[in-house]
Amino acid sequence: MSEFESVGRVEDFELGQGKAVVYDGRMVAIFRTTEGWYAIDDLCPHMGASLAEGYLEGNSVSCPWHAWRFCIKDGHWEDNPATKVDCFEVKVQGDEVMVREKNEDG
């Protein structure tokens, strides 16, 4: 499994908002919520809009272009769970926000 990589400082992320960051050469959407930190692929599979720019409500982010809704906890498309975007692990170490690829087991 890959190692955690720093993608920013805690103060760079607003509570209840998404933020797109570069991780391992790709765009990842990081979400800071009252329940914790979550990360999914930033690009909506429909037309490539940034999910970090979407509307976050609970554990669901809506694509800003066509309102496709994705669960920020596991990346599944809420209207068809057979479709999903990649999901990443997030941890905070000191004041650094760290991300790594999630293994297939969770």
Tell me the per-residue pLDDT of 27-69, one tens digit each, with 9 for 90 and over. 999 999 999 999 999 999 989 899 999 999 999 999 999 999 9
Return the beta strands (E) in 1-106 as ranges: 5-9, 18-23, 26-32, 37-41, 55-57, 60-62, 69-71, 87-93, 96-101
pLDDT at site 18: 97
pLDDT at site 2: 79
Domains and their CATH numbers in the chain: 5-101 (2.102.10.10)
**14: DSSP letter:** -
Mean pLDDT of the chain: 94
Given pLDDT bands bounded at 50, 70 and 90, which one contains residue 23?
Answer: very high
The Cα–Cα gap between 50 and 22 comes to 12
Instruction: Please tell me the pTM assigned to this model.
Output: 0.92
The Cα–Cα gap between 15 and 12 comes to 10
